[in-house]
């Protein structure tokens, strides 16, 4: 090959390699900048998420606070017993995000209620998303860290209702039986418990009486709530705990109107 041609070919190869090297360097630089850009975006996203969680944690206690609704008009009525040593209270709690709890309690205020029934109408609060079993366990035994286990199902005018008891609890006097019923329309949950009765069958019947005797006083503008109770009352069943356990009737099964006290 002619020396001049060889030098020209060599120069062309060198120039081509330089172009390739430059392109490779540019690609590496672009890739590095891209990784840096993505990393910066990821870091910003993590910092934003952390800040949002801290803000949400700071705001949530204020948004999750339930308060007694002074002067609230009772929406429900429940006919139970009115024995001298028993009393009933009716309390209404409201949530800033729209939830409302109407709560019946029986027992002395200084003691844990011997029975309770709560009608929780959901709002936009987080409590509405929870199953309710954990909250019910805390309400039944706030001084014990015990969960609940299934204790069967009973029928009521609201349909089948799940029964629950404290895990490992023995049957007998003083034992408690919880219940939990979630309804889709209107969005609400009925829950509570009874600790009265000498055995589980008696407490099952007492819980059934509580549910079947729950009536609506005034649904207001909530047509779904009015319709729910209208349909439920058609299926209302007789209540007779004395047929389950002979002897004097438990105060829960008496037909007299209970004495109410406390904040309405």
Same domain membership, residue 119 and residue 215? yes
Q: Report the b/e string of 222-254 with b at 16+ CB within 10 A.
A: eeebeebbeebeeebeebebeebbeeeebbbbb
Confidence (pLDDT) at 225: 93
C-beta of residue 183 within 8 angstroms of C-beta of residue 45 = no
| Domain match, 54 and 78 both | no
Q: Are residues 10 and 123 in the same domain?
A: no
- Rounded mean pLDDT of 111-118? 86
Judged against a pLDDT cut of 80, whether residue 94 lies above it is answered with yes
| Same domain for 107 and 51 | no
With a pLDDT cut of 90, the percent of the chain lying above it is 33
Does residue 114 carry a pLDDT above 90?
Answer: no
Burial (CB count <10 Å: 0-12, 13-18, 19+), residue 90: buried
Residue 213 pLDDT grade (very low, low, confident, very high; cuts 50, 70, 90): very high
Do both 77 and 59 map to the same domain?
Answer: no
Q: Which of 39, 63, 87 is the last residue of a domain?
A: 63
In the predicted model, what is the mean pLDDT of residues 53-65?
A: 57
Residue where one domain finishes, among candidates 30, 63, 96: 63
Residues 40 and 141 in one domain: no
Per-residue pLDDT reduced to its tens digit, 132-142 = 888 998 888 87
The answer to whether residues 93 and 49 belong to one domain is no
Do 18 and 142 reside in the same domain of the chain?
no
The residue segments making up the domain with residue 59 are 1-63
Rg (CA), the chain: 33
Query: Do 113 and 185 fall within a single domain?
Result: yes
Task: Tell which wins on pLDDT, 248 or 146.
Answer: 146
Quickly count: other Cβ atoms within 10 Å of residue 264's Cβ.
15
**pLDDT classification of 239: cutoffs 50, 70, 90:** confident
Between CA 244 and CA 200 the distance in angstroms is 10
* Helix-strand-coil split of the chain, %, nearest 5: 40, 25, 35
Question: What domain count does the chain have?
Answer: 2
- Verify that 94 and 167 share a domain, yes or no: yes
Three-state DSSP class for 47?
A: helix
Same domain, 72 and 52: no
Boundary residue ending a domain (47, 63, 79): 63
Distance of alpha carbon 203 from alpha carbon 206, whole angstroms: 5
Note the pLDDT tens digit of each residue in 150-205.
999 999 999 999 999 988 777 777 788 999 999 999 999 999 999 887 888 989 99
Does one domain contain both 105 and 217?
Answer: yes
pLDDT band, residue 36 (cuts 50/70/90) = confident
């Amino acid at each position: 090959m002619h020396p001049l041609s060889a030098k020209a070919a060599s120069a062309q190869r060198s120039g081509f390699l330089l172009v390739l090297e430059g392109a490779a360097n540019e690609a590496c630089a672009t890739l590095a900048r891209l990784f840096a850009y993505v990393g910066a975006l990821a870091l910003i996203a993590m910092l934003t998420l952390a800040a949002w969680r801290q803000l949400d944690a700071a705001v949530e206690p204020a948004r999750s606070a339930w308060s007694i609704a002074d002067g609230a008009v009772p929406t429900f009525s429940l006919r139970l017993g009115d024995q001298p040593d028993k009393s009933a209270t009716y309390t209404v709690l409201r949530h800033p995000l729209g939830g409302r709890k109407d709560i019946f309690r029986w027992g002395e205020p200084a003691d844990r209620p011997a029975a309770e029934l709560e009608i929780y109408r959901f709002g936009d609060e987080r409590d509405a998303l929870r199953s309710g079993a954990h909250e019910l366990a805390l309400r039944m035994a706030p001084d014990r860290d015990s969960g609940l286990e299934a204790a069967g199902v009973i029928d009521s005018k609201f349909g089948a209702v799940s029964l629950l008891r404290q895990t490992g609890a023995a049957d007998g006097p003083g034992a408690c039986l919880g219940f939990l019923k979630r309804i889709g329309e209107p969005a609400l949950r009925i829950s509570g418990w009874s600790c009265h009765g000498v055995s589980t069958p008696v407490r099952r019947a007492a819980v059934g009486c509580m549910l079947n005797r729950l009536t609506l006083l005034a649904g207001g503008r909530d047509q779904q709530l009015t319709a729910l109770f209208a349909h439920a009352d058609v299926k209302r069943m007789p209540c007779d705990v004395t047929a389950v356990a002979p002897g004097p009737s438990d105060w829960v099964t008496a037909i007299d109107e209970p004495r109410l006290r406390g904040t309405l």
